[in-house]
Structure 1
Amino acid sequence: MYAPTPDAWHEANRARWDERVAIHAAGDFYDLDSFRAGKDALRDFERAEVGDVRGRTLLHLQCHIGLDTLSWARHGAARVVGLDFSEPAVETARRLARSLDLPPERASFVVADVYDAAEAVPDSAYDIVYTGLGALNWLPDLSRWAETVASLVRPGGFLYLAEFHPLTDCLDDETGSAVTYDYFSRDAWVDDTPGTYADRDAETVHNRSVEWQHPLGEVVSALAAVGLRVDFLHEHDASLFARYPALRRHPDGYYRFPADRPRIPLMYSIKATRPAGG
């Protein structure tokens, strides 16, 4: 439900994520055994749009347990740093990095709020700042986020953001065909659903989540306002999960609407560069 932002929203969200780390690390959704054996956690369009990362430094904001972060290291990034506000998540990521024989100078992880990233990470600027799917909805202030991002991208470097499309949060959950929720709402979305996207039946105690919807125009405008040049905005007709019952899994692993239904964007991606003289 939409509601004014609860005073304890940050503590509620962190308690929720802290509790779910063990569930995610042990479950089939993240499948850490397959990851250790070489499975890539990144999506094909992310790899194509980011391009060659060999020899480059990369900062991953809101990294959770670090699979995407460490995948960039496997693709040749000279140094990756992951940041997350959940201490159990960061400890899990550090253990995972050690199990892959990645030394701290190649892959390190920091416990900090994303808004405090500039003071918390080991380097002042990075070739690439990366944010993966399901991150922006946890942040109430995109202007502050964009300022943080811009301060961490070196001149000539770029932000790469992949996210679920905000339009998907406006449609009815049953069919995904009717506009039910306000696209431009600035209220928080407060939910108390138990379990987790990785295991709907998991027994959990800390179930409150507080999230925000950010229209696409707000995201692009926030990046432009801090001097980043938007190189592209791509919208994708596929999702990572069955957001609506009508979505069907395709051989490439993505979920899409059937061919007889009009398509809508389910994910989007942005690359925004800091000018070399900026």
Structure 2
Amino acid sequence: MSTQLDHQSAPDGWHEDNRAMWDERVPVHVAGTYYDLDGFRAHPDVLRDFETAEVGDVTGKTLLHLQCHIGTDTLSWARRGAARVVGLDFSAPAVEAARALAADLGHGPERAAFVTSDVYDAAEAVPEASYDIVYTGLGALCWLPDIRRWAETAASLVAPGGFLYLAEFHPLTEALDDATGSQIAHDYFRREAQVWDEPGTYADPHAPTVHNRSVSWQHTLGDVVSALAATGLRIEFLHEHEVSLFPRFENFEVRDGYHRFPADQPRIPLIYSLKASKS
């Protein structure tokens, strides 16, 4: 259940609420079947096929993963040949879990480093001034109130000749009804903060939790692209994908490893991805 507040009047303590929520859920994610860390240790690659195709060969490159959570995506890029990966997250327990996972895979901090920091402070927190690839994965941007500040921070960390790659859930899905995704039910252009009070976690809806209050924001596709373009990065592509990683709508089916609309229903984009390069 959520309530909505004007962006400027977002409740005091929203950042602390969000961090407490994520901190509490880390042990649930580490121990549960959703992330299946035992399986990951055996085969450390959970990247989606469209991500690996669009990013291309990362062999010998440095990669920074903003909002990395427990590091599975970060370490997957190392598995695919990145010379050095750095993950950043504001949750200290998540960073500790990522470091432990890296150690289990035999990666020392010179190959895979993890840093605790707010994403807006990333430029001061990460060990290198810039990276060949700055990566942000699915489900990250909604936790940030200021998308322009995020874009400026991320762009500042891209090395000359490098690029930023973003994969994110499509904001159009947040305007549709939860049952079928076929009717407009919410304002696509809402800018106000959404305050949630929900127990459990996407990885285990029935997990007993105490810190259930969180605050999120919706960013339109235009807001994200415009924010990145304003930094001087060159938008190489913007792709839209008809698949999702979770049953966003109640009528979803699983086909070819992804959650999708029924085959007889008109499709809409569920995920988007973009690449923006620095000269």
Q: How does 1:253-268 map to 2 (within 5 A)?
A: 253-268=257-272
Structure 1, unmatched stretches of 5+, are: none
Secondary structure, aligned partner of 1:272: strand
Root-mean-square deviation (Å): 0.7
Q: Which residue of 2 aligns with 1:147?
A: 152
How far off is 1:259 after superposition? 1.6
Q: Which residue of 2 aligns with 1:217?
A: 222
Q: How does 1:28-107 map to 2 (within 5 A)?
A: 28-107=33-112
Q: Report the Cα distance in structure 1 between the residues aligned to 2:258 and 2:221, rounded to whole angstroms.
A: 22
Is 1:190–2:195 an aligned residue pair? yes
Is 1:270–2:274 an aligned residue pair? yes
1:46-98 C-alpha deviation (Å, 9 max, x unpaired): 00000000000000000000000000001010000000000000000000000
Q: Report the Cα distance in structure 2 between the residues aligned to 1:157 and 1:52, rounded to whole angstroms.
A: 13
Is 1:170–2:175 an aligned residue pair? yes
How far off is 1:197 after superposition? 0.2
Structure 2, unmatched stretches of 5+, are: none
Q: Report the Cα distance in structure 2 between the residues aligned to 1:49 and 1:174, rounded to whole angstroms.
A: 31
How far off is 1:169 after superposition? 0.7
Q: Report the Cα distance in structure 2 between the residues aligned to 1:132 and 1:44, rounded to whole angstroms.
A: 13
Is 1:202–2:204 an aligned residue pair? no
Which amino acid is 1:242 matched to?
P
Which amino acid is 1:79 matched to?
R
Which amino acid is 1:2 matched to?
Q
Q: TM-score, structure 1 length as denominator? A: 0.97
Asked if 1 retains the 8 angstrom alpha-carbon contact of 2:44 and 2:79, the reply is no
1:18-44 C-alpha deviation (Å, 9 max, x unpaired): 000000000000000000001421101
Identity of aligned pairs, percent? 71
Which amino acid is 2:4 matched to?
Y
1:90-124 C-alpha deviation (Å, 9 max, x unpaired): 00000000000011100000000000000000000
Secondary structure, aligned partner of 1:199: coil
Asked if 1 retains the 8 angstrom alpha-carbon contact of 2:45 and 2:75, the reply is no
How far off is 1:175 after superposition? 2.1
Q: TM-score, structure 2 length as denominator? A: 0.97
Divergent runs of 4+, >2 A: none
1:184-241 C-alpha deviation (Å, 9 max, x unpaired): 1110111101100000100000001100000000000000000000000000001001
Q: How does 1:222-261 map to 2 (within 5 A)?
A: 222-250=227-255, 252-261=256-265
Q: Report the Cα distance in structure 1 between the residues aligned to 2:72 and 2:251, rounded to whole angstroms.
A: 29
1:140-170 C-alpha deviation (Å, 9 max, x unpaired): 0011001101110001100000000001111
Structure 1 pair 126–39 and aligned structure 2 pair: CA distance change class (3 A): closer
Q: Which residue of 1 aligns with 2:4?
A: 2
Secondary structure, aligned partner of 2:236: strand
